[in-house]
Amino acid sequence: MIRVEGLVKTYGASKKRSVDNLSFEVAGGEVFAFLGPNGAGKSTTAKVLTTLLAPSAGRVTVAGFDVVRQSRQVRECIGYVAQHTGIDHFMTGRENLMLIGHLYRLRGAHLERRVDEMLAYFGLTEVADQMCASYSGGMQRKLDIATALLHNPKVLFLDEPTLGLDAQSRIDLWNYVRRLNTDLGVTVFLTTHYLDEADKLAHRVGIIAGGVLQCVGTPGELKDMLKGDSIALTFEAGVAERARPLLRSAPFAKEVLDEEDGLRIYVDNGGETIAELISLLAGHGIKVKSVTLARPTLDDVFIKFTGKSMDKVEEKVKPWWAQWAGDNWEQVEAENSWSGNKWVNADGSAKDQQAFDAWTQAEGGGDAAWAGNEWVNADGTPKDAAAFKAWAEGEADKQSERVSGEAPAAPEASADSKEEAMSEAKQGGSAGQWGGGGGWQGNEWVNADGTPKDAEAMKKWLEESAAGKKAE
């Protein structure tokens, strides 16, 4: 349905490549998502595909028509919903639909019937004759999609369809997109920077960063490329360098990636490995600041291909005055921006390392002040390795029980609740830190020593929260 070959789009005199050598195909009846951070080239691609922008190089066909030479035919068989809703606030919903219908060359009774159908389909019949200014964000977005569907398009383009919507409206909109695809057979091309949106809606996902397509596949395929769970570790400054070779040579680690304040390790079974991992590091006197265990998400895929987490790649948006500063705006901004404080320069380097060290020593004895957390002593040795391992394994068992007991949607949900359980354990950890180690009495679920207070109740709670997620 969509075929893109070697698409390049440059902007302005600088010939900066917003999209570089893009090639992919979307089959008829598919929901295809373009996932990437802001400024990655998603909207540019959508605009080229919808004939709003002309490609600088490459060949693009939609429904068999060339977007440059047969732009009119392309326009007749596509619908496009832009990031900003293009509906007119001073007209009613019905008037907006009638206008766009006229522009699609629909006339008379046929147009009126289509308008009524669309209003009913999106549940807007009651407000059809109210001014759009009184519509909620979700209603405006639905009306916007309705205008794009009046002429029964073969392909629907959605550019960041849920940007700025509240959680309920998002889920509502997702359901509509799914129904459009299954009931009406519309091919959907959507761009998003929400990982869950791509994960839950799309049959296939293309990950784009810096104008380059990094990979394409089903969400499952992309996650399987990572093979297993990921464990994110954070350390105090400089410690990661010591931990890295150790983890690289560890038998359980499939891959070790650098992150901004720590390391990310890919393993087969996160629950079992985590205890092993901690004791390995502790055995070498390496202190861990925090541990997070996660089933692979599309963000992990993104990290794998770009080396960075998605929210850290957001492209710098030009300030409004950039047009007067010309190409020097970054420099101008740097000159006017924060120039560092007493200890640190603007670039993050220490002004005077010795003075800084002396100050931290004087303030709190530096690192030595830390008394360790629930699991790990200040020197990095585990407080009670056996208890920790038992708890982690029990947790993993519980998960697998539930996985086997529940229907296909369960693995995802259970992974989520597992994360929740982990983060709760982590909260417990920090409470212990502040409570001076012994003072913490545990939380609702876990005792201070890490054993579950009421295994049955906890299991029930986990299942409830998983069921809640499933119901969504």
Smallest distance from other proteins to CB 30, Å:
21
The radius of gyration computed from the CA coordinates of the chain, to the nearest angstrom, equals: 27
**Of 43 and 373, CB closest to other proteins:** 43
Nearest to 75 by CA among 103, 117, 99, 114: 103
**Of 99 and 378, CB closest to other proteins:** 99
Smallest distance from other proteins to CB 212, Å:
23
The span from the CA of 23 to the CA of 15, in Å, is: 20
Question: Is the distance from CB of 442 to CB of 448 less than 8 angstroms?
Answer: yes
**Of 100 and 127, CB closest to other proteins:** 100
**Of 220 and 326, CB closest to other proteins:** 326
**Of 148 and 425, CB closest to other proteins:** 148
Smallest distance from other proteins to CB 275, Å:
53
User: CA 196, 197, 199 angle in degrees (round to 5)?
Assistant: 60
Smallest distance from other proteins to CB 90, Å:
5
Burial state string for 414-434 with b = 16 or more CB within 10 A and e = fewer than 16: bbebbeebbeebbebbebbbe
Nearest to 413 by CA among 230, 224, 199, 165: 199
**Of 143 and 288, CB closest to other proteins:** 143
**Of 322 and 390, CB closest to other proteins:** 322
The span from the CA of 6 to the CA of 71, in Å, is: 19
Burial state string for 174-205 with b = 16 or more CB within 10 A and e = fewer than 16: bebbeebbeeeebbbbbbbbbbebbbbbbebb
Smallest distance from other proteins to CB 29, Å:
22
Smallest distance from other proteins to CB 65, Å:
12
**Of 65 and 302, CB closest to other proteins:** 65
End-to-end CA distance of the chain: 31
**Of 91 and 387, CB closest to other proteins:** 91
Smallest distance from other proteins to CB 133, Å:
11
Smallest distance from other proteins to CB 323, Å:
8
CB atoms within 10 A of CB 107: 10
Smallest distance from other proteins to CB 44, Å:
13
**Of 89 and 316, CB closest to other proteins:** 89
Smallest distance from other proteins to CB 322, Å:
12
Residue 94 Rama label (left phi>0; alpha psi -120 to 50; beta): alpha
Smallest distance from other proteins to CB 100, Å:
7
Dihedral angle over CA of 166, 168, 171, 175, nearest 10 = -120
Smallest distance from other proteins to CB 188, Å:
16
**Of 80 and 302, CB closest to other proteins:** 80
316 φ/ψ angles, rounded to the nearest 5 degrees: -65, 125
Place of tokens 């308008």: 115
Pairing of strands 78-81, 229-234: unpaired
Contact footprint for other proteins (CB under 8 A): 47, 50-54, 72, 75-76, 78, 80, 82-88, 90-91, 95, 99-100, 102-105, 147, 323
**Of 60 and 78, CB closest to other proteins:** 78
The span from the CA of 307 to the CA of 324, in Å, is: 34
